[in-house]
Amino acid sequence: MIKFFDGVSNAMILLVEKIMIIAPYAVFTLIAATIAEFGFNILQTLLLYSLTVIIGLAVLTFVEYPLLLKLFTKISVKKFFKTQRQVIAVAFSTSSSAATLPVTMDICEKKLGVPNRIASFVLPLGTTINMDGTALYQAVAAVFIAQVYGFDLTLTQQITIVLTAALAAIGTAPVPGIGLIMLIIVLRSIGVPSEGIALIIGVDRLLDMCRTVPNVIADSLACVVIASSENELGELNVD
Ligand code: ASP
């Protein structure tokens, strides 16, 4: 059995390696097709779209999270963000909440004083279902694609985007690029062609790096909020 699964695993790694070789060319052709269809102006539009996502993620991280931290814990916002430096660096460079999990666990236990029995339950669960950054990105991307295709979104469709983006983010696996795939669910729910994701695929890696950061900070935040509500938060250990 072990040999069989090792074999399958090696085959998958080989397959991914081969796909990665053609990925840059594939992305190039996708972008070329998009430009051919919509003209060069689409590049400027893509820049505005990327900025909207990044500003949204910044508001989430630097306004909403500090508010929640102040509301539910006694930890200072500055100290909390100081403990998150390593988590942010790993999340940004790997674009994967799952790859960042060991670092998040370590920081929550050693620096934020969360007991292991809380961190080992909240963090793995949060890593898979708690993806605020991804939900925000999917909502912006859905509106952007709908606008490019000339859809005039009704209020019901906008509410549908909010609900399906929240659900799609819960279903998104904590690895690079899956938020983009799950976006198809959001687009289908409002009747926008799912081929629309080709429009944004070229800038997705950068946005993936950015959205993974609030995804992992939210996990640490949930962890300290739970520990503090259980009166189990230990000493803060910030250098
Ligand atoms: N890369 C994200 C994460 O791991 C998921 C995604 O939005 O694609 O948190």
Query: Does the pLDDT of residue 23 top 80, yes or no?
Result: no
Distance CA 69, CA 77 (A): 7
pLDDT class for 13, splitting at 50, 70, 90? confident
- Ligand 1 centroid to Cα of residue 115, in Å, is 26
CA–CA distance from 71 to each of 109, 123, 140, 153, 193 (Å)? 21, 20, 27, 35, 41
Residue list, ligand 1 pocket, CB within 6 Å: 95-97, 131, 134, 172, 174-179, 208, 211-212, 215
Amino acid at 98: A
Distance CA 26, CA 45 (A): 21
Instruction: Give a yes or no: residue 9 inside a domain.
Output: yes
Task: Identify whether residues 96 and 129 lie together within a single domain.
Answer: yes
Identify the residue whose C-alpha is closest to ligand 1 atom 8: 179
The mean pLDDT value for 9-21 works out to 83
The mean pLDDT value for 179-202 works out to 91
Q: Express each pLDDT in 102-112 by its tens digit.
A: 999 999 999 99
Distance CA 105, CA 120 (A): 7
Phi, psi of 112 (to 5 degrees): -95, -5
Say what the pLDDT of residue 126 is: 96
Instruction: Give a yes or no: residue 235 inside a domain.
Output: no
Say what the pLDDT of residue 105 is: 95
Query: Does the pLDDT of residue 34 top 80, yes or no?
Result: no
Amino acid at 104: T
Instruction: Give a yes or no: residue 60 inside a domain.
Output: yes
pLDDT class for 222, splitting at 50, 70, 90? very high
CA–CA distance from 211 to each of 97, 155, 205 (Å)? 10, 26, 10
Task: Identify whether residues 57 and 145 lie together within a single domain.
Answer: yes
Task: Identify whether residues 95 and 3 lie together within a single domain.
Answer: no
Task: Identify whether residues 9 and 116 lie together within a single domain.
Answer: no
Instruction: Give a yes or no: residue 234 inside a domain.
Output: no
Say what the pLDDT of residue 147 is: 93
Instruction: Give a yes or no: residue 237 inside a domain.
Output: no
- Ligand 1 centroid to Cα of residue 185, in Å, is 16
**Kind plus residue range of the DSSP H or E element containing 75:** none
CB 189 within 8 A of CB 72: no
> Which residues form the domain of 135?
40-229
Task: Identify whether residues 188 and 105 lie together within a single domain.
Answer: yes
Average pLDDT, the chain: 92
Say what the pLDDT of residue 21 is: 84
Split into its structural domains, the chain has a count of: 2
Task: Identify whether residues 54 and 109 lie together within a single domain.
Answer: yes
Instruction: Give a yes or no: residue 174 inside a domain.
Output: yes
pLDDT class for 196, splitting at 50, 70, 90? confident
Residues above pLDDT 90, as percent of the chain:
74
Q: Which CATH number belongs to the domain containing residue 217 in this structure? A: 1.10.3860.10
Q: Express each pLDDT in 118-175 by its tens digit.
A: 999 999 999 999 999 999 999 999 999 999 889 999 999 999 999 999 999 999 999 9
CB 236 within 8 A of CB 79: yes
pTM metric for this prediction: 0.85
H-helix segments, 65-154 = 65-72, 77-83, 85-94, 97-110, 116-129, 132-148
